[in-house]
Amino acid sequence: MTRVLFLCLGNSCRSQMAEGFARAYGKGFWEVESAGLMSAVSIAPLTRQVMEEKQIDLGDQFPKPLEWVSPETFDLVVNISGYDLPEGLLVNERRWKVDDPIGRNEKTYRRVRDQIEALVLALLHEIRAGQGGD
């Protein structure tokens, strides 16, 4: 099973959304987690709200620092942070350019959510196709 880590700055918005979509759409296909370069204290309330609009419950997900998840154990690290990974971290990295919605309005959160949903679905399709499972 492919292991994917979604990484953003605070692990409060973007990477939590990506993890939520990945769990919902790729259940049984891949193992996913999320983390932050400088993890927040909690998931932003608007993150949970806009995900629930898509019937995605983030359940007991919570912000985690990068050190808690051992990024080297993942097949792919999807970096949504807009920052470089810590020096010396040897991982297969993919970068997604997605605005950070923290502190912004619901419309921004929805736009970011929809962009992340499309990116997660495309990644899922790509990995499945690469494994001959499409």
pLDDT digit string, tens, across residues 95-119: 999 999 999 999 999 999 999 999 9
The domain 2-130 having CATH identifier 3.40.50.2300: the answer here is yes
Q: Which ranges of 3-134 would DSSP assign to H, the alpha helix?
A: 14-25, 45-52, 106-130
The amino acid sitting at 94 is R
Question: Is residue 133 pLDDT above 60, yes or no?
Answer: no
Give this prediction's pTM: 0.94
Give residue for tokens 């808690």. 68
Q: For residue range 47-92, what is the model confidence (pLDDT) as tens digits? A: 999 999 999 999 999 999 999 999 999 999 999 999 999 999 989 9
| Tokens read off for 63 | 């912000």
Give the mean model confidence (pLDDT) for residues 25-40. 95
